[in-house]
Amino acid sequence: MNRGRSVTQLSICVWFVGCVFWAVPSASLAQGLSVDQRLERLEQKTLSQSPGAEQETGNMVFFRGGWAGLINDRSNEVETDVFGFSGSNDNNNGYYVGAGLDLVLTRDIWDLFPGTWVLGEIGVEFKRFNSKDVTQAVPSTCAAAGISTCSVETNKKVQITMLTVNVAPKIMFMEGSRFRPWIIPVGLDFHVISPPSNDTTVLDIGVQFAVGAQYRIWKAIHLGVDGRFHLATGQTDTTNNYGTAGAYVGIAF
């Protein structure tokens, strides 16, 4: 009887000592972690236990469209309307379509403002401005030169278009909210104009400024609005400044 009681007591002692040796390293490890590290471990544990949980990465592909307007029209040029020979191609309003990528650079402006992101935007944008039926420069010039296969074209539509590729930093506020406003303080633009200018050049560079906001409507799908102003340097000897206002659909990934 005493022998059986001694075995039981010994088993309890062994179990107790084992628990102590297991708990002490765990407690020491927990004490060695900072508050942020503990929170991070708890968050990772929670996510691992919830297969349906999702984290917002911030990276996004988006598709844009809306109104576009030139500050100065391109009438009375050689290629746009042959100096107004049979009417001026002087409309400066039109539309734009575009797409791009937002890539997260930092989620706290490099430890300066928690919850405020900086993204790198890479975008491409096509614009078509309302165009008129005017004299076409190349067929008419060809006919004036006496080429028998050419004829004067005084009532043909000449499209005024522009292609822009941009790279810009985008500052986005209100981390964790469905509604997130943003600004582009300044970004770099590369423009291609069509038709060519009187200098027969098509390439220009400039900067852009923008403000907008987006709302997450369902999972990775976002809807947003933005307005932008583009200031060009006039490398083509034309004024290529313009503004846009429109909406976009974004898909986060």
Query: How are beta strands 242-252 and 221-232 bridged, if at all?
Result: antiparallel
User: Average pLDDT in the 63-78 region?
Assistant: 97
Residues counted in the chain: 253
Mean pLDDT of 103-109: 96
Q: What is the mean pLDDT of the chain?
A: 86
pLDDT at 57: 77
pLDDT for res 146: 75
What is the distance between the alpha carbons of residues 40 and 33, in angstroms, rounded to a whole number? Answer: 10
Rounded distance between C-alpha atoms, residue 49 and residue 159, angstroms: 58
Which is more confident, 253 or 142? 253
* Listed residue (167, 159, 158, 113) closest to 134, CA to CA: 158
Are 164 and 190 in contact, with CB atoms under 8 Å apart? yes
Shortest CA distance to 131 belongs to which of 86, 85, 74?
Answer: 74
pLDDT for res 5? 59
154 contact partners, CB below 8 Å, separation of at least 6: 85, 86, 134, 135, 136, 140
**Does the pLDDT of residue 143 top 90, yes or no?**
no
CB atoms within 10 A of CB 213: 16
User: Nearest Cα to 169, choosing from 97, 245, 89, 110?
Assistant: 110
Q: Which pLDDT score, from 0 to 100, does residue 210 have?
A: 98
Q: What is the average pLDDT across 213-234?
A: 97
Q: Which of 162, 145, 132, 178 is nearest to 69 (CA)?
A: 162
pLDDT value for 142: 80
Buried b (16+ CB within 10 A) or exposed e, 65-99: bbebbbeebbbebbbbbbeeebebbbbbebbbebb
- Overall average pLDDT of the 85-113 stretch: 96
